[in-house]
Structure 1
Amino acid sequence: MTSSNTGLAKYLSTHTSFQDPRSSSSPLPALYSDLSRQRKSNPAGYRASVEWWKGILLDVTFAGVQFDRDPPSSTSISASGMGEVVDRTTFRLDESTKARWTIPGVGRPLGLGTVIADLERERTVIPLSSYLKSPTPLSGPSPSSGLRSYIPTTRGVASALLLTPAKWAASSLYTLALGSKEDDAEYSEDERLFRLKRGEWVFFPLVERLSTSFLMHFYANEASLSPLSLLMTTSEFHTKLAAQCGFEPSERDALLVLKYLSRDRREGPAAVVQDGLIKFAPTEYDPVEPITSEDRDILAVHSTLLRLDTQISSLETQITTRNESIKTALRANNPSLAKTHLRSRKALEEALQKRRGVRETLSGVLANIEQAKGDVEVMRALKASEGVLRGVLGRKELQVENVESVMDGLQELVGVQDEVDGVIRDGARVHVDEEEMEEELRVLEAEKRREEGEKTERREGEEREKREREREEAKKVQESKEAEDKKQEEELKARFERLRVAQGPISTPGETASQTHAKEPSLSKEAITE
């Protein structure tokens, strides 16, 4: 296998199926074997292998890595031209394909011819020449193609699990022992298919994917902006397709997408392509109109504007270059060269002014054309609306006498309905004696007042009882407090008396009774308490 730094080798180095190909659990030996021999011996395994190859070939082709180089970046494209761009919808099958897909320890893929032949039968791939030259619409694979269309029956499952492996094992043992001319013939079947299918193949699902993506973006963002946006050249289409894809499609990719849009789209053609001019349908579901001489003239004006834009940009670049040259010549003290560059710049500025004037004139013309075509579409819509409204108002149901008759009938029916409602209300009304009802009402009111008076008396009695209880409780508390105070006072007096007796007065010679009394200790209330 080639270097793992670029292209297909780089892609395969990151694919899960290609990790550790020498392992006994690797699927590569079976996938790289001659698949034509599996078609009869192991149909389920054959279908699984073909589906695996279809998936990986689609990925490799759309990623642009089917060769030994990576897809070019926008920088390399601008530097080297469109020739470096890789096809994203076409797969090439030749001897170099087998060499690029060779895996050390596994070998070359022996079943590619069988895979391409099977994909051609289900219309997943179409020969490039047939796709480009077909005068009739081509269709891709049916929704039921693939593994889902190979759901086995009960008998098929039993055969696949029991009989087929046994036959395959017996055949393998016989081949190992004696060899088999029949096996050699089956092996040559893939080689025959490979030689027969060599060439370039268009992957229809990839063309359909690019076309559908472009149409969705175009009708969502551009088609409704102006009637002129439906017209473009093939180069403009290529630019718009590249902007939508996110990568640079090849010229062939753009051509195949245009073939699909104008011929193979399931819902009908969305575009007409003629002599490098493209015209799209107004919407995804409207039929596309043929290109007229008026369309060609409009595109001619539009293309001239694009060329003028390119020329103006080129002139501006040249003027900038001349300014730099003038500055360089002046710095080099070369006034004659600076004068030459200045004269050249003046000529460029004059040409630029003329180009800008022409562009302004053509822009005004194109704007008027755009407005006129818009007015035409508005008038068409108004005319269609007028015809529809006239047809609706001309119907017999909307004639004035019929409308008046219907309204009179409705009013009459409304009056009848009111009478019916009145009769129903009268029939449902209950007749009662007003005096008896008034008397009963007075009795009920008297009973209510009596009940309210009783409730008021009970509430007032309860409040009086509550106040009496509160006064009695307060009286008891006061009496208890007074008794406690009296008891404490008596105890204090008793203690004071005991202290006075215990500490009687002691007189000395010469002291009077009053002096003796003055020396008696003064006992405060706190001391007595202690």
Structure 2
Amino acid sequence: MSELLNYLLQNDENFRRARLPALYSDFRSQRTLNPDGFAANVAAWKRGLSSAALAGYAPSKSGTNNHLTLDLEGDSLLRSLETKQFGRPLALGTVLQEALANGEMMPLQQFLKAKESIYHRSWGSIPWSVVAWGLRQVGIGGPGDNLPKGQFVILHNLEVVSKAFSEATEDRTSPFERTFSKTHFQRTFAEGLLEENQRLSEIDMEVLVKFLSRDKNVLATDGNTVKIRSGGESVEITQEDSAIASLKELMEDLTRQTEVLSKRIDDLNIAAQDAVRRKNRIAALAALKSKKLAETNLSRRHNTLSQLEDVAAKIEQAADNVQLVKVMQSSTVALRNLNAQVGGADKVDEVLENLREQMGEVDEVGNIIAEAGPGATVDEAEVDDEFEALMAEERKKDEEAERIKREAQEQKEAEETRRKLAELEKLGPLPVPGQEGEKASRPLTPITATANDLGDMKI
């Protein structure tokens, strides 16, 4: 089983075992007999081939994995999809012809040579018969919906990678960070835009640059220099852009050279030590001499790289100054327009003076209305009399409450006195002094008193 077919079976639910007989059958007749089934099969093949190409499993004549194009030279695609049970997919040519007719795929050379945006006139708006005739004129398609020949751009994959590129470059704000030579641009962005550490091929990068510059207006390029556009920037590549791109590429080359020289010095040092251990004086001296030459070259590369970094810093600072001056100029124009709308300090003073006058008139009118209005005058004597009446009523309430509280207290004390007198009567007559051992001959005279008479009595 090929890698392509294994990928589809493992990762695409449309290629489960139960669906394979329908997908590998000649379902071209369903275009009119069963339109829904025909559309489902076509959509499954298009999604499967698109995702497989993006993941790097589509076969290529050159042996390089292309993620944005589908290579249909020869029958490598059919052989990759062939199975012992179902053979080759019989309607795959129809599927690819449908993708071409709907604008989901485009011939590579036509895509690269197009002057207008591919969205300007969608292939999907052209009748199928016209598209089929046009494809046959350029050698694509033919009787029986044969498999088209050539390389074709997969627009869905292009949209996916374009979105990843925009997300990866959204934090590049300065002109120095957004300008590259063509070679430097390819080395910088060939990796990191796809999943699973996949790398875009040279054809992929060429297609991507064309798409981002012509159809998305994200890049500006003259064929040698590539610049990530910022809002409001010119689409033309300036001389300053070319200088920045060349400088960055040279710095990258020098950095790579320093890495190679550093590794060579380490290797020569190990070789010299090994020669000394083996008592090989000639080999040791040769390794040390080569090491010294490499160290000299490394020192020169570092000095040159340091100078270029200083130049790059100055260029970046100058570019930032240009942006700053532009912002200050636009701010000056904005302030001038706003001040013109205000009319200057004299007009502001005049407006404030008029405002104060109008506010004064409002206060004056309000005072006049308050003085002339009915019921505006308040008799202070009547207010005082009403206040005294309220206070007298309040005092009366307080005195009544105090009287009720005092009577309740007196009633409580009288009840306590009666209780204690009742307890004394229960004790019986008191003994007479001088008659020890004898009981008193007469009882005590009962004491009678009212509760009010005994109110202050202490027992």
TM-score range for the pair, normalised by the shorter chain length: 0.7 to 0.9
**Is the partner of 1:36 in helix, strand or coil?**
helix
Structure 1 position 414 matched with structure 2 position 365: no
Q: State TM-score, norm by structure 2.
A: 0.79
Q: Which amino acid aligns with 1:227?
A: P
1:121 to 2:109 alignment: no
SS for the counterpart of 1:198 is: coil
> Which gives a bigger RCO, structure 1 or 2 (Cα 8 Å, sep 6+)?
1
For 1:333, which of 239, 259, 279 is the aligned residue? 279
- CA drift of 1:478 comes to 9.8
Offset, 1:50: 2.0
**CA drift at 1:402:** 3.5
The alpha-carbon distance between structure 1 residues 120 and 463, as it changes in their structure 2 partners (threshold 3 A), is farther
Q: CA deviation at 1:468?
A: 4.7
For 1:528, the equivalent position in structure 2 comes to: none
Q: Which structure dedicates a bigger proportion of its chain to helix?
A: 1
- Name the counterpart of 1:367: 313
**272 and 442 in structure 1: CA distance in 2 versus 1, 3 angstrom threshold:** closer
Partners of 1:418 and 1:218 in 2: how far apart? 63
Task: Tell me which of 333, 345, 368 is aligned to 1:387.
Answer: 333
Give the equivalent residue in structure 2 for 1:34. Answer: 26
CA 1:470–1:290: 2 relative to 1, 3 Å: farther
1:453 paired residue number: 399
Give, in whole Å, the separation in 2 of the partners of 1:448 and 1:46: 99
Give 3-state SS (helix, strand or coil) of 1:195's partner.
Answer: coil
Per-residue CA deviation, residues 308-355 of structure 1 (Å, 9 max, x unaligned), is 111111111111011101110111112232122112211211221122
Change (3 A) 1:467 1:232: farther
Identical aligned residues as a percent: 28
Whether 2:67 is the aligned partner of 1:88: answer yes
Q: Distance in 1 between matches of 2:93 and 2:377?
A: 102
Deviations 1:497-522 (A, max 9, x none): xxxxxxxxxxxxxxxxxxxxxxxxxx
Shift of 1:259: 0.7
Q: In 1, are the aligned partners of 2:92 and 2:147 still within 8 Å (CA)?
A: no
Structure 2 partner of 1:48: 40
How far has the Cα of 1:461 moved from its partner?
A: 2.5
Residue 12 of structure 1 pairs with residue 2 of structure 2: no
5 Å-filtered alignment, 1:483-502, equals none
Partner of 1:515: none
Output one character per residue of 1:436-483: Cα deviation in whole Å (capped at 9) or x when no partner.
332232222112111101111212322343455566668879999x89
In the alignment, which residue of structure 2 is the partner of 1:213? Answer: 164
Which of these two proteins has the greater Rg computed from alpha carbons? 1
1:410-449 → structure 2 map (5 Å cutoff): 410-426=355-371, 427=373, 430-449=376-395
CA distance in 1 between counterparts of 2:33 and 2:156 reads: 30
- Relative distance call for 1:103 and 1:478 in structure 2 (3 A) is farther
Question: What 5-or-longer segments of structure 2 have no aligned partner?
Answer: 126-140, 429-459
Q: Is the 8 A contact 2:94 2:147 kept in 1?
A: no
Instruction: Label 1:293 to 1:16 Cα distance change in 2 as closer, same or farther (>3 A).
Output: closer
Whether 1:235 and 2:232 are equivalent positions in the alignment is no
Alpha-carbon separation, structure 2, partners of 1:387 and 1:209: 41
CA distance in 1, matches of 2:14, 2:337: 67
Q: How far off is 1:92 after superposition?
A: 3.0
**One-letter amino acid of the structure 2 residue matched with residue 30 of structure 1:** A
**Aligned with residue 257 of structure 1, among 208, 211, 214:** 208
Q: Are residue 278 (structure 1) and residue 226 (structure 2) matched?
A: yes
- 1:27–1:275: structure 2 CA closer, same or farther, 3 Å change rule? closer
Question: Counterpart amino acid of 1:240?
Answer: T
The offset of 1:306, in angstroms, is 1.4
Secondary structure class of the residue paired with 2:67:
coil
Structure 1 residues 436 and 302 mapped into 2: Cα distance closer, same or farther (>3 Å)?
closer
Aligned counterparts of 1:46 and 1:477: Cα–Cα separation in 2: 118
Structure 1's 49 and 11: CA in aligned 2 closer, same or farther, altered over 3 A?
closer
Equivalent position of 2:262 in the other structure: 316
Report the counterpart of residue 248 of structure 2 in structure 1. Answer: 302
Aligned equivalents of 1:371 and 1:261: distance in 2? 28
> Which has the higher mean CA deviation after the structures are superposed, 254-263 or 40-49?
40-49
Distance, in Å, in 2 between the alignment partners of 1:14 and 1:391 is: 61
Residues 166-214 of structure 1: per-residue CA shift (max 9 Å, x gap) = xxxxxxxxxxxxxxxxxxxxxxxx9835436233221112112211221
Check conservation: 1:18, 1:28, Cα contact below 8 A.
yes
Displacement of 1:419 in angstroms is 1.8
* SS in structure 2 of the partner of residue 65 of structure 1: coil
Task: Select between 254-263 and 372-381 the one with higher mean Cα deviation.
Answer: 372-381
Give 1:249 deviation, angstroms: 1.5
SS at match of 2:377: coil
Segments of 5+ residues of structure 1 without an aligned counterpart are 69-82, 146-189, 484-530
- Listed one character per residue, the Cα deviations across residues 401-441 of structure 1 (whole Å, up to 9, x for unaligned) are 54343233222211111123323444375434332332232
Amino acid across the alignment from 1:34 = D
CA contact (8 A) 1:128 1:202 kept: yes
What is residue 87 of structure 2 aligned with on the other side? Answer: 107
Q: Tell me the secondary structure at the aligned position of residue 176 of structure 2.
A: helix
TM-score normalised by length of structure 1: 0.69
Identify the range of structure 1 (113-122 vs 314-323) with the bigger mean alpha-carbon deviation. Answer: 113-122
Given that 1:90 and 1:200 are in contact with CA atoms closer than 8 Å, whether structure 2 keeps it comes out as yes
For residues 424 and 297 of structure 2, the distance between their equivalents in structure 1, rounded to whole angstroms, comes to 123
- SS of the residue corresponding to residue 228 of structure 1 reads coil
Rate the CA distance shift 1:384–1:315 in 2: closer, same or farther, 3 A. Answer: same
Change (3 A) 1:114 1:369: same
For residue 106 of structure 2, give the secondary structure of its aligned residue in structure 1.
strand
Contact 2:97 2:148 in 1 (8 A): yes
- Measured after TM superposition, the shift of residue 35 of structure 1 is 3.0
In structure 2, do the counterparts of structure 1 residues 61 and 463 end up closer, same or farther at CA, with 3 Å as the change threshold?
A: farther
Distance in 1, matches of 2:266 and 2:33, equals 74
Q: What is the RMSD of the two structures over their aligned residues, measured on CA atoms?
A: 3.0
Residues 457 and 126 of structure 1: CA distance in aligned 2, closer, same or farther (over 3 Å) = same
Residue 128 of structure 2 corresponds to which residue in structure 1?
Answer: none
Note closer, same or farther for the CA distance 1:9–1:97 as it changes in structure 2 (3 Å cut). Answer: same
